Structure 1
Amino acid sequence: MSDATKTPLLDRVQSPSDLKRMSDAELSRLADELRAETIAAVSKTGGHLGAGLGVVELTVALHAVFDAPRDKIIWDVSHQSYPHKILTGRRHRMNTLRQKDGLSGFTKRSESPYDPFGAAHSSTSISAALGFAVARDLGGACETGHGDAIAVIGDGAMSAGMAFEAMNNAGHLKKRLIVILNDNEMSIAPPVGALSSYLSKLYAEAPFQELKAAAKGAVSLLPGPFQEGAKRARDMLKGLAIGGTLFEELGFSYVGPIDGHDMDQLLPILRTVKERATGPILIHALTTKGKGYGPAEGARDGGHATAKFNVVTGEQQKAKPNAPSYTSVFGDALVRHAGEDDRICAVTAAMPDGTGLKKLEARYPSRCFDVGIAEQHAVTFSAALAAGGMRPFCAIYSTFLQRGYDQVVHDVAIQRLPVRFAIDRAGLVGADGATHAGSYDIAFLSNLPGFTVMAAADEAELVHMVATAAAHDEGPIAFRYPRGEGVGIELPERGEVLEIGKGRIITEGQGVAILSYGTRLAEVRRAAEALRARGITPTIADARFAKPLDRDLVLDLAARHEALITIEEGAVGGFGSHVAQLLANEGVFDAGLKFRAMVLPDIFIDQASPEDMYRVAGLGAEDIEAMALRLLDVAKISDKRA
C-alpha cells in the first residue's frame, strides 16, 4: 500500500462483520479504498487485477449484507477474489500473493474459513452453491454453520455447459439459492442508465411476486417525453429480457440488469433478496473489468493478468525474454503450415492469446475458432472437423483438457479421428499453483489405444512436432510443451516430420542411461556435467514419444547400461510407467537392470516459482545426479564441486 494512500475505513476492517457497523455512504467510500488497496497490492506481486477491480463494490455489498462465513460466498474461478481476501483478514498477507508459502491467487479452503469452496477453473460455483444449499436443508454439519449460498459467476463462465446443468438442477430442486451473474462484457447504455436505476428501486421495494408487474408498469409512470425513449430502451433490452426468460424457464427468479458499481442499487437489492427470497434467484449485475484503474480498463484483456507494475503509469515490469516463448513458437509454426494447407484449422476454448492462436486468427480468421469456456465442445467439435476432412489443431492447456477427457476418449480416440492436440502449460506452471499444473496429460492420453503422444524437449523440437502433427492422418496425436520461454536454441526454418515412435540419442556414455521425456532434458544435461566431474559419463537420450514407445531405444539402453533412469514432467502412470511395463514384460529386470522413474510426486504442489516447484518435486539437476549416484552405488563426495 502506498504511504500516500489513506484508507481510514479499510483500516477499521478486521473481518466482514465490521462492515455492518458502517453506513451506506461509508460503504461506498470503503469500496474506493478497497479498489486502491487492491491496485497497490497487485502492483507489488503481479496477478489477476482486472477481474477483482470489476467486483469491488459487489464484494463490499455482499459482505455488508450477508453473514460470511456462515453464508457461503462462492467466487467462480475466483481470480476476482483479491478484494474478498483483503476484507476477510488477509490484508496483511497480500504481499505474499501467488508466492511460495504465501496466499493463493484463488480461493482455497485450507487458507480461510471465508473460502468455503476452492476454485480456479470456471463454471463450478453454481453446482457448489447448490450443494451447500442442499446440505443446509438436510442438516449437514459445518464448522461455520449453514446460511445462504451465493454463487458469483462471470458471463464467460456462465456460457459453459456445467453452469446450465447446475441451474437446471437448482430450478428443479427449488432450494433457496442466490446466483449473481457478474456481466462484464455488455456495454449497452440503457441498463446502467436512469431507467435501470428506477426499475432497480422498484425491485428493492416490491415483493418478488410483484416484480414483473412493477417492471411492466414502470414506463407508464414516467413523464410523457420520456416514455418513447423508455420504449426504445426496452426494445434494446429485448436480448436481456430473453436471457431473463431463459433463467426463469430454468426455475430462477430473475432480477436485473443492475449497475454492479452502484452501491445505491446493490445494497437495497441484496438486502431484499436476503429478506424475501424463497427459491433460486439470479441477479444480473453489469460491471466493467478493471473498473477504476485506467491502464486495466484500457487493456485488451481488461488487465486480466499482470506482472508487477508501476501504479502511476501501469507499466508492467516484465523481464525481456532471452528466447521466444513455446506458445509463440507453436503459433508461428502453425501459421506457416496453415499457409501451405487450407485443411488446417484450429480450435481453442476461450484462450486464443494464451495458446498462441491469435496469430492464426489474424491471418486466417475463417479457420480459427474460439468456442468459449467449453472444452468438451471444443474436443467434439474438433473430432467432427477431422471426420469432415479438415486437419484440426485443438489447442488447450493441459489443466483444462482434463475437462474434456470423456470427449477425448469417446469422440476422438475410439473413432481414431486425427485431431491434433496442442497441449500448452505442460508441467508445473508457477504462481497459479496446483489447479493449473499440467501434471496428468501424459498419463491420461498415453493409456488410450491408437493415440500418438509427444513432448518437446526444446523449442526446435516443438517446431518439428507441429510439422509431425500436421502430417499425421492415422489417428489422434498430441504434443505438449511448457509455459514460458524456450532454452534459446536456433529454430529450424521448417519443421521436420519425425518418424513416429522414434527417440534420439543425445550423447553416448556408459554405466547409467538417462532417458528424458520433455523439457527436463536441460536439467539432465546439467546433471550429466556434474556426473562427468566425478568421472561418470552417462548416456543421454530424448524419448520424444511416450506412445508409441521406442522399444528398440529403451531395450538397447537397458542392455548396454547398469542403470536406467527416466524423467518426465508428469505424474505417475505416464512415460516412466510405460517404460517399466515394457522392461518387465521383456524380462529385463531379471538380468539385474537398476531402473528408476523420476516423476512428479503424489502430492499437489502449491504455488511458487517453477524452479522452486520442481525442487519440491525432486526433478532438478541435483536430484537427477543423486539418483544416478545411488543406482551406481557411488558415494556422494560433497567437496568435489566445492
Structure 2
Amino acid sequence: MDLLNIKEPSFLKDLSIKELEALSQDIRQFLIEKLSVTGGHIGPNLGVVELTIALHTCFDSPQDKILWDVGHQSYVHKILTGRASEFDSLRQYKGLSGFPKMAESVHDVWETGHSSTSLSAAMGMAIARDLKQEDSYVIPVIGDGALTGGMALEALNHIGDEKKNMIVVLNDNEMSIAPNVGALHGILGRLRTAGKYQWAKDELEYLMRKVPAVGGKLADTAERIKDSLKYLLVSGVFFEEMGFTYLGPVDGHDYEDLFEQISYAKKTEGPILLHVLTKKGKGYKPAETDRIGNWHGTGPYKIDTGDFIKPVESPPAWSKLVSETVRKLAREDKRIVAITPAMPVGSKLEGFASEFPDRMFDVGIAEQHAATVAAGLATQKMKPYLAIYSTFLQRAYDQVLHDICRQKLNVFIGIDRAGLVGADGETHHGIYDISFLRHLPNMVLMMPKDENEGQHMVYTALKYDEGPISMRFPRGNGIGVPLDETLKEIQIGTWEVLKEGHDAVILTFGTTIPMAMKAAAVLEKQGSSVKVINARFIKPLDTKMLHSLLQLNIPILTIEEAAVQGGFGSAVLEFAHEEGYHHAEISRMGIPDYFVEHGSVKELYVEIGLTPEEIVKQIDSMVIKKQKRA
C-alpha cells in the first residue's frame, strides 16, 4: 500500500486481516527506512504497529479519543492519520514533531512528552463527555514503564472509584527506555503468564445459568467461586482490585486476538484495563534484541547492520564524563550512591551499576520518589548522586524544595540535558531549571565551561557538606579539552576571568561561553575591548567580582542558554538593585518567553537570537548608549 496516499484512518475498516497484516509490514519497512535517516523513537513504534492499526480500525478517531502516553509510540498513528508524506522532516526544524501535536492533526487529542499523564487527561475527557451527554470512547494507551509514575497510579485510583466508561490499553513490552523495575513490573510479569481469566469467568457464568436457581444461595456461591477463580488465574488481581475489569493478556501482534478483546471491551460498562503484550522493536532484529534501551530512540543508522552513524572520534559525552567521575570517587568513598528515575542508559550509569550494584538504584519513572529517596539517604550521612534530566527534574520540584533544600541535605543533583536538546523539542528542552532552583534557599547551582572543569565540579559537589548542590550539563559531547589527572575543589561562588577588557563585560557560563568569546574577538577587531567572565556559579553569585564590575560603570551583558525570565541575568539585576547600583547598564540574553519547538540546536540558536552576531549587536548598542550618556 502507498502510505503517502493515506489521509485518515477510516479505510482500515474495509480491509481484511490479511490486508492489515500486509499494511503492518509496509509500515514497519517505511519506519525502518525513514528513521535510518532522521533518527527517532524506532523501538517503541515498531512494537505498536498492529495495536495502533487495531485501535483505529475498531474506533472512530477523532470522535473517539485515543491518547498516547509519552508519545514515543505515536509514529504509526501519524501515518494512519495522513502524515506519512512529512516523515522526511521528522524531528527536523519546522518539520513533523516526534510527539503528538494538536497543531498537526485533529487526531492528536493530547500532547505528550513526559510519561504517566495520559490516564489523568483521559479521566478529564471522560468527565467532560458525560457532562455534555456525548457518546464516545476514551482510550488512553499507556506503557508498563509509565505505570510506575505516581501520577498514573493516582489516576487509576480515581478512575476505578468513579467507574467512568474508559478503555485503558496497557501496552506491555516489559521496557520503558531501559528495562522496567519495581514491584508493579513483577505483578505484570505474573499477569503475562496467567492466561485469559475473563474467558474462564464467562464459561463459569454460562454453566451457572444452566442450573436452576435455588433462592439466592446459588448466586452467592457463584460469586464466591468467581472471586476464587480470579485469585487463582490472575496473580495479584491488581487492576480488578482498583475497580477495573481486566482483559488479557492479549497478543499485541495478532489481529484476531486484538479485535476479539477490543470488541469485548467496547461492550463492557465501567473502566476496562486491556493488557496487550507487544515486542519493542518488532520487525527489525537490532531493535528486537535490544535489552538495555539503545534502540528506544536513536540518531541515524545503517539499515543492513544496525550500526549507529556517529563521528569516529569525538570528545566524551557529558553524561559519561559526570557518571564516570562519580564512579571514580565512589571507589574511595563508600557513602556515594547513585539514583536515577529510569534513565541508567541515558545518564551513562551502566559502569557505576556494574561496579557497585548494591549502591545503584533505578527507581523507575518516579522522579518525585527519586528525589526524596536521595534526601532520606542524605539524612544518614550518605552521599547521594541524583542523575536526572532537567526536563524531568521539573516533576520533582516540590521534593527538591520541601525534602532536600528545606532540610539542607547533602544531595548532589546532576542536571543532565540542561539547555536546548534539539530534536525532542519543547517537552524536553532543559531551560527552566535555573528559574525554579535559583530561588530555593540552601541550593548551590553551577555549570562548567568544559569537561575538565566539569570533573572538578563533580569532585567539589561530592566533597561539599553544607547542603544541596546541583550541576547543570548539556546534552551531547564535551569540547575535547585535556583532563587533569588530579581532581580539585573549586571554591563555591567564585567566577573566572576568561578575557580581559574595559569597554563592556559579558557574564556567561557553560555552552554559551564559546559564542561569547567569538563575539568578543569580533568586537576587539572593531575597537571594543570586552571582558568575558565564566560565571560558573549561578548561585551563589560571585558578589566580590560583581561589586568590582559594577563599580567600573561599564555595560554588562548576561547570556544564558536558559529561560531569561527569572534566570541568571535576573539574579544579576536583583543584585545591582539591592546593592544600590541603580544606574548600571545591564542587559540579558537567553531563551525568550515562549515554548521553543524542535530542530537542531544551531537552528534554534538562530531563531531565538542567541548567536555571536546578535551578541556583537547587543554590545555595540550598549556601548554606544553608554558613550552618548557620558
1:282 maps to what in 2?
273
Whole-angstrom CA distance in 2 between matches of 1:424 and 1:57: 35
Q: 2:302 aligns with which of 306, 310, 315?
A: 310
Whole-angstrom CA distance in 1 between matches of 2:139 and 2:208: 28
Letter in 2 for 1:568: E
Whole-angstrom CA distance in 1 between matches of 2:424 and 2:108: 17
Letter in 2 for 1:166: A
Whole-angstrom CA distance in 2 between matches of 1:472 and 1:544: 16
1:138 maps to what in 2?
131
Q: Which moved more, 1:565-574 or 1:314-323?
A: 314-323
1:335 maps to what in 2?
327
Letter in 2 for 1:256: G
Q: 1:314 to 1:543 in 2, by over 3 A?
A: same
1:594 maps to what in 2?
585
1:232 maps to what in 2?
none
Whole-angstrom CA distance in 2 between matches of 1:216 and 1:564: 84
Letter in 1 for 2:372: T
Indicate conservation of the 8 Å contact 1:466/1:495, yes or no.
no
TM-score (norm: length of structure 2): 0.90
Letter in 2 for 1:298: T
Q: 1:37 to 1:505 in 2, by over 3 A?
A: same
Letter in 2 for 1:64: T
TM-aligned CA deviation for residue 344 of structure 1:
0.8
TM-aligned CA deviation for residue 602 of structure 1:
0.4
Whole-angstrom CA distance in 2 between matches of 1:215 and 1:242: 24
Indicate conservation of the 8 Å contact 2:421/2:429, yes or no.
yes
- Alignment of structure 1 residues 440-519 onto 2, 5 Å: 440-519=432-511
Whole-angstrom CA distance in 1 between matches of 2:348 and 2:41: 20
- Alignment of structure 1 residues 242-253 onto 2, 5 Å: 242-243=235-236, 245-253=237-245
- Alignment of structure 1 residues 134-533 onto 2, 5 Å: 134-139=127-132, 147-185=136-174, 196=195, 199=196, 203=199, 210=202, 213=205, 241-243=234-236, 245-274=237-266, 276-300=267-291, 301=293, 303-533=295-525
Indicate conservation of the 8 Å contact 2:4/2:84, yes or no.
no
TM-aligned CA deviation for residue 290 of structure 1:
0.3
TM-aligned CA deviation for residue 190 of structure 1:
10
TM-aligned CA deviation for residue 165 of structure 1:
0.3
Whole-angstrom CA distance in 1 between matches of 2:144 and 2:111: 19
What do the CA deviations read for 1:123-179 (whole angstroms, capped 9, x no partner)? 111111111111111118xxxx86211011111001111111001000111110111
Letter in 2 for 1:59: T
Q: 1:101 to 1:321 in 2, by over 3 A?
A: farther
What do the CA deviations read for 1:569-608 (whole angstroms, capped 9, x no partner)? 1111011111100001112123xx2110112100111100
Q: 1:214 to 1:393 in 2, by over 3 A?
A: farther
Whole-angstrom CA distance in 1 between matches of 2:601 and 2:203: 53
Whole-angstrom CA distance in 2 between matches of 1:212 and 1:298: 40
Q: Say which SS state the counterpart of residue 569 (structure 1) adopts.
A: strand
What do the CA deviations read for 1:277-310 (whole angstroms, capped 9, x no partner)? 2210001111111011101112232620122122
Instruction: Give the root-mean-square deviation of aligned CA atoms.
Output: 2.5
Q: Say which SS state the counterpart of residue 331 (structure 2) adopts.
A: helix
Indicate conservation of the 8 Å contact 2:300/2:309, yes or no.
yes
Whole-angstrom CA distance in 2 between matches of 1:586 and 1:191: 64
Letter in 1 for 2:537: F
Indicate conservation of the 8 Å contact 1:517/1:566, yes or no.
no
Q: Which moved more, 1:147-156 or 1:616-625?
A: 616-625
1:557 maps to what in 2?
549
Q: 1:120 to 1:533 in 2, by over 3 A?
A: same
What do the CA deviations read for 1:550-582 (whole angstroms, capped 9, x no partner)? 111112112225200111111110111111000
TM-aligned CA deviation for residue 20 of structure 1:
1.1
Q: Say which SS state the counterpart of residue 152 (structure 1) adopts.
A: strand
Whole-angstrom CA distance in 1 between matches of 2:207 and 2:547: 76
TM-aligned CA deviation for residue 239 of structure 1:
10
Q: 1:45 to 1:389 in 2, by over 3 A?
A: same
Establish whether residue 125 from structure 1 lines up as the match of residue 118 from structure 2.
Answer: yes
Letter in 1 for 2:29: A
Gaps of 5+ in 2: 176-185, 210-227
Q: 1:484 to 1:214 in 2, by over 3 A?
A: farther
Whole-angstrom CA distance in 1 between matches of 2:190 and 2:357: 32
TM-aligned CA deviation for residue 319 of structure 1:
2.4
Indicate conservation of the 8 Å contact 1:398/1:424, yes or no.
yes
Q: Say which SS state the counterpart of residue 288 (structure 1) adopts.
A: coil
Q: 1:626 to 1:584 in 2, by over 3 A?
A: same
Establish whether residue 19 from structure 1 lines up as the match of residue 12 from structure 2.
Answer: yes
Whole-angstrom CA distance in 2 between matches of 1:190 and 1:159: 16
Letter in 2 for 1:180: V
1:224 maps to what in 2?
none
Whole-angstrom CA distance in 2 between matches of 1:472 and 1:216: 70
Whole-angstrom CA distance in 1 between matches of 2:156 and 2:10: 30
1:622 maps to what in 2?
613
1:226 maps to what in 2?
none
Q: 1:238 to 1:335 in 2, by over 3 A?
A: farther
Whole-angstrom CA distance in 1 between matches of 2:277 and 2:232: 14
TM-aligned CA deviation for residue 430 of structure 1:
0.3
Indicate conservation of the 8 Å contact 1:383/1:419, yes or no.
yes
TM-aligned CA deviation for residue 351 of structure 1:
0.3
Indicate conservation of the 8 Å contact 1:376/1:407, yes or no.
yes
TM-aligned CA deviation for residue 238 of structure 1:
7.9
Gaps of 5+ in 1: 1-6, 218-234, 636-642
- Alignment of structure 1 residues 93-104 onto 2, 5 Å: 93-104=86-97
Q: 1:29 to 1:338 in 2, by over 3 A?
A: same
Count of equivalent residues: 594
TM-aligned CA deviation for residue 262 of structure 1:
0.8
What do the CA deviations read for 1:60-83 (whole angstroms, capped 9, x no partner)? 000000000111111110111111
